[in-house]
Amino acid sequence: VGHLLVPAAKICWYKPAAARAWAKLQAKRALLMGCSLLATLFACEVGLRIMDGKLFTLENFVATKSNHLNQNIAANYDPLLGWIAKPYFENRKIIPNIKESYTHGEFGIRMNDAVVRPLPQNAILAVGDSFTYGSEAADIEAWPSYIEQLSGMLTNNAGAGGYGSDQILLRAEHLMDLLNPSCIVVSFLDGDVDRSKFSNYSAMYKPWFEIIDGKLVHHNYPVPKYS
């Protein structure tokens, strides 16, 4: 028994000291890693601010860039809908083997090719979200353009990115008296129905409705500007 107690006593005596030394070593390593991480993030922040020419500004970049109008240069504020495609906007982007174009006419209607033309009356009116608008596709590749190509009937593309089903229907109602469409194609996805629950979307205020005493009540009109 005596032979066993002596080694055990040595272990008990030295273990607290070894544990403290190990803990200090790990603390130093954690501190060094934390300082290295902070220094790297600081260097990246300074470098990106220099690239953007905003080294000494206190601007909240996250809030600014999350705003739909700042993200999408092809969109304008609208008091009824929150935002619409920017009227008389033209943008050309060259992708390998593909010429991508975004061309808008009056009321933010997207053209069916890369030329701004007067809007036709008594034409088909297509309303919807970015799928209708044709995001990431050339003017001639959006499906309202294909309707015009295949049917021979003039078509106005009034789609807009980020719209909920409420904005889509309001857009149709607003353009009915202006364009006197012969037919209206209302296109929306299940996600657009979800968006109609919100008073804001993509850091932008939007119209929204609730049922009060069996009637739809229109809120956020005019739509507040983003701040």
* Tens digits of residue pLDDT in 44-68: 989 988 887 888 887 777 666 667 6
Mean pLDDT, rounded, for 92-98: 65
What pLDDT, on the 0 to 100 scale, is given for residue 8?
Answer: 53
pLDDT over 80 (residue 33): yes
- The Cα–Cα gap between 14 and 11 comes to 5
What pLDDT, on the 0 to 100 scale, is given for residue 136?
Answer: 87
What pLDDT, on the 0 to 100 scale, is given for residue 181?
Answer: 98
The model's pTM? 0.71
pLDDT over 60 (residue 23): yes
Strand (E) or helix (H) holding 126: strand 124-127
Nearest to 65 by CA among 56, 52, 78: 52
CA dihedral angle for residue 71, residue 74, residue 77, residue 83, rounded to 10 degrees: -90
Q: Which residue has the tokens 């300074």?
A: 46
Nearest to 116 by CA among 148, 81, 135, 91: 91
Query: Within a 13 Å sphere around the CA of 98, how many CA atoms are in the beta-carbon half?
Result: 9
CA of residue 73 relative to chain centroid, distance: 12
Mean pLDDT, rounded, for 156-164: 96
Banded pLDDT at 74 (limits 50, 70, 90): confident
99-146 per-position pLDDT tens digit? 678 999 999 999 999 999 999 999 999 999 999 999 989 999 999 999
